Structures are given as structure tokens and as C-alpha cells.
Structure 1
Amino acid sequence: MRFQHASDLWQDFPHLVPGVIFTRGITHDASVDRPVAEFSAAAAERLTATQESGLPEVQAWRRAFSAMGLRPTQYRCASESLLRRFRKEGSLPRIHPLIDLCNAASLAYGIPVGVFDVSRINGNLEVRYADGDEAYETFSGEVEHPDPHEVIFADDTRRAHARRWTNRQSGYSAVRDSTADVLIIVEGLHETAPADVAKLTGALADELRVHWSVAPETAVLTRASPRFVR
């Protein structure tokens, strides 16, 4: 499988920094209470100084959404949505230990983290502009078609695994109890993204090793080296 961002996305968003993690051996019975608590505490501390909209990581995604013709207060990147809920409710619902871990890490760093069940991806996965005829399945099972030129995660069968870039993943490739092999994508656009994405990618990989005893493969992509192949 190859993961990459399309060349015109790199051209339009030259500050993009993607981090990638692939691993096998995920189970639904791991305990991630300790890292979830630590990441959540870090997020809470950051939110004492400013609301999520004031974080540079979120501001960069708001600018990107505006550039894509989306109202950033209507369509939020995943990390902003999580931070907003966390600020209001004080915690996030538990879903699956891997999702709980990645959501908490996203809170702490303010950076969107997407997690995909590899068994549900056909062929390669590319972040690209949509043609508009791709199929996207919601968490309720409804099928939608992205707007032309909307940024999507698309596989070789033209199935969209995320809409509006970092706004909403598909229920089709969401992690479930039977998930074993996963692809985790971290994406930053802010000034310190090169260092922050590398740190977040490394932190998640370390927690995967500790809590699932797996050997994750990781990479931080660049415009000069834009592909992850396994």
C-alpha cells in the first residue's frame, strides 16, 4: 500500500507536514488510561491560556479551510472539534483504546490525527482533490458524494475515507473491535509543524509499543519525499 498527498495539494499548501504510522497487531482490550490521562492533562493546561481557536495549530487549519472555500466555524478540523468538546465537557467519550489514545494525543498537540482500518482500504490511499463522483459512507451507513475539488482521502476504488480533509472520517474504515492493522495519519500546517508532527508521531509510536507490544513503522513526509510505502 502507498500513502501520499497529491502534488497539487503540496503546491497549494506548501507548509503541510504529514506524519504516518503503520502497525499490525492492534486489539480492543488494551488499557490506555495512563497516556490518555497525561495527554488530557496537557490539553487542559493549554486551554487555561486560550480557547482552542487561539492555538496556532488550529488557526493554521482554519486558514486552510477558508482557502478551500469552507467556513471554518461550520467545518472544523478534527482536533479543533475534539478540543471544543473537551473544553466544554471536561473529557471525551471512550470508543476504542486506540481511538481514545489518538484522540487524547490530538488534544494535547492540537493536531488532527486520523486512524484507518487498513483492511477496509482498497489499494493505495491518496489525499487529493475530489472529482465529485467518489463514494463516502457516513457512520450511519448513508452514502454521500464529496463536492468537486473538496479534499478527500481516496483509495484505488474511488472510495472516500475522509471528507473535507481533516474534518470528517468515514464510518467505512473506522476502527472497530475486529481491527488489527491500522494506518495513522498526523497532519500539521502551522509554523512549528515539522518539529511538532515528528514529536507527536514518535509519542504515538512509543505508546503503541508499550500498550500493544507492536513494531510500528513511522515516517514524516515532505514535498521532496511525499510517499509512505509498506
Structure 2
Amino acid sequence: MKITIDEKLFQQIPGLKLGIIHYNKITVSESPQMLKGRLQLFQEQLYFELDTKPFNDFPGIKEWRETWKTFGADPNRYRPSVEAFYRRIKKQNYLHTIHTAVDLNTFFSLQYEIPAGIYDLAKVVGDVQLTLGGEDDGYDGLNGRFTSLNHILQVKDDYSPFGSPYVDSIRTAVTEETTDALHILFLRPSMTKEEALQLTTACGKMFTSISGGDASCYVIDKETHSVFLKGANPFPL
């Protein structure tokens, strides 16, 4: 399976980059109490920080709002997922635990102030590309509504879009049956390649320390805008 970034995107955001983690032989299950407690504590601490700190004072949120505007989307109407999380926490509408994969994805997003998505590789068809959504692009989202991706970054395979830094699709959602997964970190464009790889590797290590399996970590950007995932089935059923 080949994962690429559409080269046209670099004309508007030269520093655009993704952290890519390929998980093999993982076990997705109810999160251990340690992870549940850590996620709850982080949200409670963030709630008190948000009481006096505006959203734009968080570098990750500010940078992703600017990225949204650059590509023509309105961040006040269609918010990056990380900002949506922070707004929920400000209202003390804390995020509930689901299972290890989703809970870790949420924790990484909150901790590093970035959108992130995790996808079941058995449900991904062919190659994957990050591109800009158009008027006809969208899918049924995990929020239970149809999600339009016009002027919003989207991750698509040979079948259709399935992910974005906005809301992900139901089609490729990770469940407790998932054993191989694709984790995409929508990194801050201002990060250096070294910082990006360190962050991506740290996430991969923490994930497999809880869910088992193996993690292969990569960063794709303007200089290296594609990666080939070994062992990923290019044509799953």
C-alpha cells in the first residue's frame, strides 16, 4: 500500500506533513484503568487551563485554524477535530472512553494539539492519498451525520474518502476486531522533520505498549511525499 500527499497541497502549505504509523497484530480492547485515568486527568487539567486561556493561545489549534483558512474552509463552522475536543472539554463535556485504539488516538490529539485518526486497514481499499476535498466529496461520519469535505483536507483510498482532520468516516472505523491499523497524525506544518518523527515514534511506542503488536513509523512531507507500507493488503475484501 502506497500513501502519498498530493503535491499541489505544498503550493499553499509548504510545511504540510503527516505522521504515519502502521500497526500489525494489535489487540483492541477495553482500555486499562491506567489509560482511562490518564485521559480523564488530562481533560480535567485542560479544563482549568481553558478557563483562562483562549483557544488561539494553544499553538496547535491556532496553526490548524490557519491551515483551514489557507485551503478555503471556515474554521468557525467546520472546526479541526482537536479544537472540537478542546471546546467540549471547556464545557466539561468530557470525552468518554471507547477502546484502546480510539482512547489513545484521543489522548495523542489532546496532548500534541493536533488532529489524528486511526483506521482499520482491512477496510481500506488500495492506495491512500491526502488531498483537498471538493464539492462532491464526503461520507457518513462517526458523529452520525453526513460530512461534507469541500475545501477540507481528506484522506481517500481507491474507493472513496474515509478520513480527515475534521471528522472520520464510519466505513474504516477501528473496532475490537481490528488487528492491523493505519494511524495518521495531522502534524503541525511548523514542525521540523526531526520533531515530527520523534512525535510519531513516541505515539507508536505508547500505542504498542498498551495494544501489543508492532509499529512502523514514518513522516511524509514535501521532500518525501510518499511511503510504501510493507505487508498491508493492497486489495482487502
Q: Which residue does 1:209 correspond to in 2?
A: 208
* CA RMSD after TM alignment: 2.6
Secondary structure of 1:65 counterpart: helix
Name the % identity: 23
The answer as to whether partners of 1:112 and 1:186 remain within 8 angstroms in 2 is yes
Q: Name the residue aligned to 1:177.
A: 176
Residue 87 and residue 150 in structure 1: after superposition, are their counterparts in 2 closer, same or farther (change >3 A)? closer
Question: Displacement, 1:139?
Answer: 3.6
Taking the aligned partners of 1:142 and 1:227, their CA distance within structure 2 comes to 31
Alignment check: 8 A CA contact 2:13 2:189 kept? no
Residue 66 of structure 1 pairs with residue 65 of structure 2: no
> For 2:182, what is the secondary structure of its paired residue?
strand
Given the superposition, is the C-alpha separation of residues 68 and 119 from structure 1 closer, same or farther in structure 2, using an over 3 Å criterion?
same
Question: One-letter code of the match for 2:86?
Answer: L
Instruction: Answer whether contact 2:43 2:94 (CA < 8 A) is retained.
Output: no
Deviation at 1:121, TM superposition (A): 1.0
Q: Aligned to 2:91, what secondary structure does the other structure show?
A: helix
TM-score of the pair, normalised by structure 1: 0.85
The Cα shift of 1:173 comes to: 0.8
Question: Partner amino acid for 1:202?
Answer: T
In structure 1, the partner of 2:155 is 153
Give 3-state SS (helix, strand or coil) of 1:75's partner: coil
Where does the alignment leave 5 or more consecutive residues of structure 1 unmatched? none
Counterpart Cα distance in 2 of 1:28 and 1:42: 22
Residue correspondences, number? 226
CA distance in 2, matches of 1:59, 1:79: 11
What is the DSSP-based 3-state SS (H/G/I as helix, E as strand, rest coil) of the residue aligned with 2:3?
Answer: strand
How far did 1:111 drift?
A: 1.1
Map of 1:7 onto structure 2:
7
Q: List aligned pairs for 1:7-156, cutoff 5 A.
A: 7-29=7-29, 31-35=31-35, 37-38=37-38, 41=41, 45=45, 48=49, 50-89=53-92, 91-134=94-137, 136-139=139-142, 146-147=149-150, 150-156=152-158
Q: Which deviates more from structure 2 when the two are superposed, residues 52-61 or residues 134-143?
A: 134-143
Amino acid at match of 1:5: I
Conserved in 2, the CA contact under 8 Å of 1:40 and 1:108? no
Q: CA deviation at 1:28?
A: 2.8
Residue 161 of structure 1 aligns with an amino acid whose one-letter code is F
State the 1:53 CA deviation: 3.0
Name the SS for the 1:89 alignment partner: coil
Taking a change above 3 Å as real, the CA distance of residues 107 and 139 of structure 1, as seen in their structure-2 partners, is: closer
Q: What is the one-letter code of the residue matched to 2:101?
A: L
- Answer whether contact 1:17 1:188 (CA < 8 A) is retained: yes
Deviates more, 1:210-219 or 1:34-43: 34-43
Matched-pair contact (CA < 8 Å) for 1:16–1:189: yes
For the 8 Å contact 1:58–1:110, the answer to whether it is kept is yes
**SS of the counterpart of 1:216?**
strand
Deviation at 1:203, TM superposition (A): 2.2
Contact 1:78 1:112 in 2 (8 A): yes
Shift of residue 229 of structure 1?
Answer: 0.9
Corresponding position of 2:235: none
Structure 1 SS opposite 2:20: strand
